[in-house]
Homo-oligomer: A and B are copies of this chain.
Amino acid sequence: MNLHDEIRLMGDRALEASWKLATLTTRRKNDALRAMAVALDARRAPMRDANERDLAAGRAAGLSAAMLDRLELTDARIDGMIRGLREIAELPDPVGRCIGRRRRPNGLVIVKRRVPIGVVVIVYESRPNVTADAAALCIKAGNAVILRGGKEALNSNLAIAMALAEGGQAAGLPEHAVQIVGTTDREAVRELVRMDDRVDVVIPRGGESLIRAVVEQSRVPVIKHYKGVCHVYVDAGADLEMALRIVENAKCQRPAVCNAMETLLVHADAAPRFVPMLAEMCARRGVEVRADEAARALAPAFKPADEADWYAEYLDLILALRIVPDVRAAIAHINRYGSRHSDAIVTSDSAAARAFTREVDSAAVYVNASTRFTDGGEFGMGAEMGISTDKLHARGPMGLEELTTYKYIVQGDGQVRA
């Protein structure tokens, strides 16, 4: 069978499985998730073996230490997958929930009810634990899933998927509820995302180039986030001790993640006191600051920033810094250069807070808190599939609810349209 037919067969099977999954009770789905956890626990040895083969191939191919680390399936990471499956089994099931009800003058009763999306394709990069986490979220929301991981993790992903399938099917999941693309051919992604008669949504998780390639090729709706260029704005009259704590946390606590701050904006009135405090903290924490002229006048050790720095997602201990005349200028900067992810104001002025939260066009807008809280767990969703900077369907952290859609169920007693 050629690749085209092979992928379409996966699509047919996923569609068939999705219809069965949509009718499963919550209890059945939860039992299956717990059985998948048990199967992962029982199959540690083959998973570790498969991972060893991936690691050996990765070392031979000269993967960086960071990539090899992401690829490695330690016992602690297997424990994490098992815990993740069990936690998802505990979450409330969004499927079947009534989210709207109208009785029309002609007697029709229209109920809007949450249902699974159907068939979800996930394209991701090196971390094999995504295989279990993403599959579990999809199954809990009643969706069939087709997974396409990175080529360097193929053996690991196949071993995990085999364990999940074994556990799930023994507990009554349809046979093709979770499928994994078994080829490393890049063309497979293209075939998957053009199959709009069988696939309902594609969720790419990885670097910007992976995501752009998926968007470019896809006929299927994509939910994504390209990057996180998050801002903190320190307003005039802000509590500067609080501002410094928030800035330090947003920049330094985990700089390589998408909700870390990349650019700091400071009101001109706060700058003379705040910039020296910032310079001290950045020197202490090893943060390189790239600043505009006004800020460099207050802290000559800062490097000069250029236009490209306002767009940059450093994912590192580097910070862009700009002095702005007022909250309006801060909002305009964020809407122009930002990535619509997460942005914060530190202020004691409720009018400034209101303007900022209304006008900053981002998924999550914070008042007096770190941008680092944009996360399904921190938002109380329990687990997340990722973060969307799109505005359609899902914005911000995507939990179980965002993996569902709805349908209208209309009850009549013979109504016809006049």
Contacts and interface: CB of A to CB of B under 8 A. Distances in A.
Interface of A: 19, 22-23, 102, 104, 108, 110, 117-118, 196, 200-201, 215-216, 219, 221-223, 239, 242, 245-246, 248-250, 253, 335, 357-359, 361-370, 372-374, 378-380, 390-393, 395-396, 405-417
B366 A412 contact: yes
A414 B246 contact: yes
Contacts of A358: 22-23
Given A249-B417, A416-B245, A408 B392 contact: no
Q: Say how many copies of this protein the assembly contains.
A: 2
A151 to B, nearest CB: 25
Contacts of A406: 395
Nearest to A241: B414
A243 to B, nearest CB: 9
B104 A411 contact: no
A390 B199 CA distance: 11
A394 to B, nearest CB: 8
B110 A368 contact: no
Contacts of A409: 357, 364-365, 367
Contact of A417 (B253, B335, B414): B253
Contacts of A390: 221
B368 A413 contact: yes
B200 A416 contact: no
A271 B53 CA distance: 62
Contacts of A249: 416-417
Which of A221, A363, A380 has the largest count of B CB atoms less than 10 A from its CB?
A221
Contacts of A396: 407-408
A417 B410 CA distance: 46
Closest 9 CB pairs of A and B: A369-B412, A249-B416, A372-B417, A393-B393, A392-B393, A391-B405, A242-B414, A369-B415, A364-B408
A118 B411 CA distance: 35
B367 A410 contact: yes
A409 to B, nearest CB: 5
A364 B407 contact: yes
Contacts of A380: 102, 104, 110
A253 B416 CA distance: 9
